[in-house]
């Protein structure tokens, strides 16, 4: 079956064809580790993980690389003020030294990796740090300088876009207008407003030595240097957020292809923003929500993953607490259904269980191969669970071997955990049932409220049966 992916480079869906049969190299732009990742950032990593899972499900051997930007840079060459890592040093009262920089970066790198694990995101095979690849950056800049594509100004070394005629002309990478001086005082030494920094001289005194002076590599150069080192050039797939298209990825393409005369990557995939109200979620604003923020509201990270999967990665996602809480409630019901029919609770005598669930696996493959159509995949998950005639064992096979591989929701693990009731709660349930049988509604109500407060749900069956109790996902936090 053909795997079709939307390639920003062409602005269309294309059949994916790897450079080497059966093998895929993919690179994802990682975080600048100056603060905790917000849930808008994390959408990008869930998207990249879904792509990797789809490729592996299709039989490809994947090597995924994601950089860690642990040295300073501005959001783009048009930004002003302190760079992100320097701001973090000041915010946390750390010394303005490379050691201080490393300490802050390590703190937020570790927090980021924990976020990935919480969301059941497969860790990349390589997570190179920008600070450990300065030599590769310098070598790439040197190559551009030798080809007369780089030039010097008072504050750094810049890429001359006039030497790369394809700049801003390709498909989804076509550029709009840039109003010179709209955001900062223009560097009059730059030959074009769009020329971007390859190396910036240090204002703070911290940095690395280079043939041009002490400083930092530009934001864009690190990804070109590290992707080439770990995946060669060209490689198969480059992923990132849609906000990277116009500047960061545009500049990666220009400097890599100008230096080495070959495409950087054959397929470029980008996820859309998550918005809170009318604005993109960003650390610079008040709409800064982390996984810890969600946990404080009783939202399990895998419920957040389920929430993300309900929307296509190329569709803007307007965040709302109501929708997120509804997604968690829906996932809890799915998990209980999985546990129930795994225990044969829903099997009714006399129903012929002859319908094959093979069609569900085929539908899942079709949806995943249609540019990672996760909303359809979630719909198939729900249909499969509620398909009463389907044999439970066949359902479980598809759920755990196909659905869960692609969606990464840990269905088996969570469906077992929601019925794992500790002894003290079981005692409360027993007392609750005794009160119900005695028609002591006041006491049974008090006990029911206590059980609910502890993060469990109570389903009263007939008076002759014990109540059914399941855990809310919030109780697993």
Cα torsion 140, 127, 217, 187: sign? positive
CA-based radius of gyration for the chain:
26
Query: pLDDT, tens digit, for every residue of 432-450?
Result: 988 888 888 999 889 999 9
pLDDT at 276: 86
Do 446 and 472 form a contact (C-beta atoms < 8 A)? no
Specify burial of residue 322 (Cβ count, 10 A radius: 0-12, 13-18, 19+): exposed
Cα–Cα distance for residue pair 2/150, rounded to 1 Å:
42
Residue written as token pair 């002076």:
213
**316 against 75, higher pLDDT:** 316
* CA distance linking residue 101 with residue 427, whole number of Å: 52
SS3 265: strand
Q: Could you read off the pLDDT of 228-241 as tens digits, one per residue?
A: 999 999 999 999 99
Model pTM? 0.92
Query: CA-to-CA distance for 109 and 100, rounded, in angstroms?
Result: 14
Distance between CA atoms of residues 331 and 300, nearest Å: 10
Give me the percent of the chain exceeding a pLDDT of 70.
89
| 146-199 confidence digits (pLDDT tens) | 999 999 999 999 999 999 999 988 878 876 544 443 333 467 899 998 999 999
pLDDT score of 233: 98
Beta bridge partner(s), residue 318: 275
Q: How far apart are CA 225 and CA 256, in angstroms?
A: 8
Tens digits of per-residue pLDDT, 395-420? 788 888 899 999 999 999 999 999 99
Domains of the chain by start residue, with CATH: 4-271 (3.40.50.620), 293-417 (no CATH), 423-476 (no CATH)
């Amino acid at each position: 079956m053909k795997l079709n992916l939307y390639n920003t480079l062409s602005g269309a869906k294309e059949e994916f064809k790897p450079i080497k049969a059966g093998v895929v190299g993919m690179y994802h732009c990682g975080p600048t580790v100056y603060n905790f990742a917000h849930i808008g950032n994390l959408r990008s990593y869930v998207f990249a993980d879904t792509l990797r899972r789809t490729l592996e499900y299709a039989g490809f051997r994947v090597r995924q690389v994601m950089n860690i930007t642990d040295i300073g840079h501005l959001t783009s060459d048009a930004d002003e003020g302190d760079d992100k890592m320097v701001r973090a040093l000041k915010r946390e009262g750390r010394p303005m030294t490379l050691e201080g920089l490393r300490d802050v970066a390590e703190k937020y790198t570790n927090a980021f990796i924990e976020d990935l694990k919480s969301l059941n995101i497969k860790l990349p095979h390589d997570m190179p740090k920008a600070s450990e690849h300065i030599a590769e950056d310098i070598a790439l800049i040197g190559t551009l300088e030798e080809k007369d594509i780089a030039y010097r100004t008072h504050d750094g070394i810049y890429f001359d876009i006039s030497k790369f005629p394809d700049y801003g002309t390709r498909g989804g990478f076509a550029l709009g207008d840039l109003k010179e001086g709209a955001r900062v005082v223009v560097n009059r030494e730059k030959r074009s407003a769009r020329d971007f920094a390859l190396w910036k001289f240090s204002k703070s005194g911290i940095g690395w030595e280079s043939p041009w002076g002490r400083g930092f590599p530009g934001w864009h150069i690190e990804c070109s240097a590290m992707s080439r080192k770990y995946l060669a050039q060209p490689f198969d797939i480059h992923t990132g957020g849609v906000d990277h298209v116009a500047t960061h990825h545009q500049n990666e393409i220009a400097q890599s292809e100008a230096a080495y005369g070959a495409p950087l990557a054959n397929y470029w995939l980008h996820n859309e923003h998550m918005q809170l109200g009318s604005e993109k979620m960003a650390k610079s604003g008040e709409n800064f929500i982390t996984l810890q923020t969600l946990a404080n509201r009783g939202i399990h990270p895998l419920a957040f993953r389920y929430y993300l999967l309900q929307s296509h990665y190329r569709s803007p996602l307007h965040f709302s607490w109501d929708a997120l809480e509804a997604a968690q409630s829906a996932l809890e019901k799915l998990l209980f259904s999985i546990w129930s029919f795994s225990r044969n609770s829903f099997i009714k005598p006399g129903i012929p269980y002859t319908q094959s669930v093979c069609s569900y696996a085929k539908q899942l493959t079709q949806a995943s191969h249609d540019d990672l159509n996760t909303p359809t995949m979630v719909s198939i998950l729900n249909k499969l669970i509620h398909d009463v005639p389907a044999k439970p064992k066949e359902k479980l096979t598809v759920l755990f071997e196909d659905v869960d591989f692609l969606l990464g929701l840990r269905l088996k693990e969570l469906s077992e955990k929601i019925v794992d009731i500790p002894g003290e709660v079981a005692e409360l349930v027993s007392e609750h049932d005794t009160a119900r049988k005695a028609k002591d509604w006041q006491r049974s109500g008090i006990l029911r409220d206590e059980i609910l407060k502890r993060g469990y749900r109570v389903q009263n069956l007939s008076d002759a049966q014990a109540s059914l109790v399941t855990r809310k996902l919030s109780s697993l936090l």
